[in-house]
Structure 1
Amino acid sequence: MSETPVIYVLNGPNLNLLGEREPEIYGHETLADVQAICERAAGDARVVFRQSNHEGELIDWIHEARRDGSVLVLNPAGYGHTSVALLDALKTLTIPIVECHLSNPAARERFRHRSYVSPVAAGIVSGFGPFSYELAIQAALRLIRPSRET
């Protein structure tokens, strides 16, 4: 049997306020609810689930995922539209990246239409609220287990 896959799920700024901040856009579920969704969807894979409001900490975790992860699911939040440093860190990865958003950035303000993550992501899941994470985990598993049912 192969080694247990490790799915890093990293969350950017303000996602610690899920359920409180703009629920009409982001929903009423909390970040703990989203973590539970990810862990259920991952099945036998191990989930490393983290959130930070600090760009440097997210970059450190991306470096950690480079060493210890099988795949990265990233909701960069606002940093996705602004951070070249995040892009540079992501470009060091040899594991697949799945970009994930609760809302659909393309349907929102113009400045949200550009993502620095998208060019290095295998795919993007957005617009389905917390279900976006479940879909992103399923996609991540397909990327690392292409010949198995997930």
Structure 2
Amino acid sequence: MFINDFKDNKDTKEPSFPNDLNSLLKEKNKGNDPILINQCIQQQGLNQKYGENLLNVLKNYSKGDLDIFNQFIKTLDYAIKSAENESNQSIEIALLEDLEYSSALKEDLTKTIYNVLLKIRTDKYQKIKDPKAYLFISRTIVRLE
């Protein structure tokens, strides 16, 4: 009789968490996103690569949402790699160097990203359908001359 009870229990499914509980847990963890963003910046060396000003622009635009922040960092990285391929020059190395030129490049990049994000935010006619694509297209300003 014990074997039958075990078999009956084995065939039943375990209850899964309801979607409401999953969304509640995810929403509650959103409060940790600003902390996780700062950890991401430190672990990936983004402060050295992009500078504090650009990262502050991205943090403000993402409103402390880790997923949005990561999407913009990935898009920015991809855009830089694409510009490097087109120009046959290393923009990433130029960003990481501690030279006057590097500071000017970071400043130009920050201004460009700020203007792009401002344009996306103030797009009252909703002409910009894909903000990530718009950011990527704006990569041409990053090219080395």
What TM bracket, shorter-length normalisation?
under 0.3
TM-score w.r.t. structure 1 length?
Answer: 0.25
Which of the pair is proportionally richer in strand? 1
Which of the pair is proportionally richer in helix? 2
